[in-house]
Structure 1
């Protein structure tokens, strides 16, 4: 196993008690609406990569599944050309984030082979990474830097796998080097799920899960909302400080993490990390 591979300890046992499910007829209606939406997205071809089209189609997927989108943007809004870094709970995270800010997505290479989802990912210009092939990492970082330099935002999940809570796992540092190389800001974003006003794990993609069972839970969920909280942009010249500051913003900082966040947001260290781009 690659030293960059991550296996979260979360299992289906992490699922908490959820609100009652919707009736079977409503679940069936949601599946039908989702099928229509995905079919329409596939028919768009390369037009799906247009930011306005991508945002609307992502929102259409959420509507089809009965998932409410709640947003809390950072002051000043989010200009394109940023490295968007978010915690990772579900396959639904990327849909919700693209519904707020269209971006190029960095996904694991397995996604490229998924039916429908893989085709759609390629259509929107996603970058794919094989986490078992460490030697590919510098090339991926260069690709992300070029995309950022072109003025397009890039979405990455630096926790490297899904967790049942916002605070699970550390932030891998490699992608932050792309922001430094491109002179781009880092935009931390928190994703969390709520049912009936309480935190919910119903959308979590947990160890041992498959996509079908996870989709079934989401389609049957009553009153599910996904909340996207956008934090202020960060800039810095040290990927370690940037990763720590981003995690502090996304996950809720402990006192020592607040200190690191302050350093990075104020250009903390002015020494670029030498050597190859490693996580």
Structure 2
């Protein structure tokens, strides 16, 4: 009974928040106002508190621009928790745009939607991301290409790492900063989550969105640890596949450190 009441309250408050702030973001985007970057962070900080995410940050997001953040991907909630710690936009799969409510919110956060399955579009999509990087937007790439179970890192796909090179080639910048980021869901109601309870937060692709959202809202107290690792500055001579491999190693070690509660250094 208490869980049902909480879900109703949170959803009502979320709807009120969306209705109140979405018109402002829409106007800011049309006017290309600086607040189009700031308002999503404010919105997601409120949503994180409303949904019950308690975010701990290790390290800091690089202040260098252009900046490409490379992160593991556990759940739809990654968008919320990452947005609480910086003014970021996301590189999202094209299906996200069709999701009810969340798709429109992704658009309002100025996400770049990509079709990963269509290799022929990789160059064009990388150019679009490069344009945003060169304009000073911090872009978040989820190179696993899908969500995981939260206990491990899936192999990185290398194609969209080319956006960093495209920013140099097409955006008139001499270098791009690429920074590894890990997201670990570590606790629920103040207790260590562990491998067994990780599905409370993780959202593998075969799980429907609404039942998973309902489960998150019912819990109401989930601890998340976000780690910003050592940035890597690249130029035109940096190999794309080498860059992807280095980022994969760093994100994996950061994730393991958060899940195990002790430092794990990359191989």
Mark yes or no: TM-score above 0.5.
Answer: yes
Shift of 1:249: 1.2
Distance of aligned partners of 1:78 and 1:167 in 2 relative to their CA distance in 1, 3 Å threshold: farther
Give distance in 1, aligned partners of 2:199 and 2:7: 19
Shift of 1:129: 1.1
Give distance in 2, aligned partners of 1:106 and 1:78: 19
Q: Structure 1 residues 224-233 or 173-182, which shifts more?
A: 173-182
Distance of aligned partners of 1:107 and 1:198 in 2 relative to their CA distance in 1, 3 Å threshold: same
Gaps of 5+ in 1: 1-20, 260-279
Shift of 1:154: 0.8
Of Structure 1 and Structure 2, which has the larger fraction of its residues in helix?
A: 2
Say yes or no: does 1:179 pair with 2:161.
no
User: What's the RMSD between the two structures over aligned residues?
Assistant: 2.3
Distance of aligned partners of 1:73 and 1:178 in 2 relative to their CA distance in 1, 3 Å threshold: same
Say yes or no: does 1:38 pair with 2:30.
no
Name the SS for the 2:38 alignment partner: helix
Q: Structure 1 residues 43-52 or 101-110, which shifts more?
A: 43-52
Aligned length: 236
Give distance in 1, aligned partners of 2:232 and 2:201: 29
Q: Which residue of 2 aligns with 1:192?
A: 184
Q: Is the 8 A contact 2:150 2:185 kept in 1?
A: no
Distance of aligned partners of 1:122 and 1:223 in 2 relative to their CA distance in 1, 3 Å threshold: closer
Match of residue 104, structure 1, among 67, 89, 108 = 89
TM-score (norm 1): 0.77
Shift of 1:40: 2.4
TM-score (norm 2): 0.80
Gaps of 5+ in 2: 30-34, 168-174, 257-264
Name the SS for the 2:233 alignment partner: coil
Shift of 1:77: 4.4
Give distance in 2, aligned partners of 1:166 and 1:249: 15
Say yes or no: does 1:125 pair with 2:123.
no
Give distance in 2, aligned partners of 1:223 and 1:63: 9
Q: Which residue of 1 aligns with 2:28?
A: 47
Give CA-to-partner distance per residue, 1:216-249, whole Å, 9 cap, x none: 1110114312211111111231111111111111
Say yes or no: does 1:94 pair with 2:79.
yes
Q: Which residue of 1 aligns with 2:45?
A: 59
Of Structure 1 and Structure 2, which has the larger fraction of its residues in strand?
A: 2
